[in-house]
């Protein structure tokens, strides 16, 4: 099952994001093929990150929740909110 992990940064947290970015990217890299897509949400200026979205393959919601909680961004307190939603990759799924 695929899950979308949708994270919104706290306001004025740009420095915290920059300070933990390398640890976050290493964490995502270590998840391997479980990560189907990942990247930041952007502000209207198209340069400032305002959150993160991961599409991950997990057996259940609890596994997706664990990933979200283990993310260095989460551990550093970057996120204002985290939403986990089951997701169906219907269009342009390379595995179908």
Per-residue pLDDT of 42-78, as tens digits, reads 999 999 999 999 999 999 999 999 999 999 999 999 9
Cβ density class 5-23: b for 16+ within 10 Å, e for less: bbbbbeeebeebbeebeee
The whole-model pTM stands at 0.94
pLDDT for 75: 96
Per-residue pLDDT of 13-36, as tens digits, reads 999 999 999 999 999 999 999 999
Per-residue pLDDT of 72-95, as tens digits, reads 999 999 999 999 999 999 999 988
Domains in the chain, start-ordered, CATH in brackets? 2-87 (3.30.70.1060)
């Amino acid at each position: 099952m695929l899950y979308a992990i949708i994270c919104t940064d706290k306001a004025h947290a740009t420095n915290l994001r920059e300070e933990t970015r390398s640890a976050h990217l290493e964490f995502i890299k270590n998840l391997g093929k479980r990560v189907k897509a990942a990247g930041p949400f952007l502000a209207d200026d198209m340069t400032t990150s305002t959150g993160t979205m991961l599409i991950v393959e997990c057996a259940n919601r609890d596994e997706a929740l664990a990933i979200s909680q283990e993310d260095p961004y989460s551990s550093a307190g970057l996120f204002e909110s985290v939403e986990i939603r089951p997701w169906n990759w219907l269009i342009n799924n390379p595995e179908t």
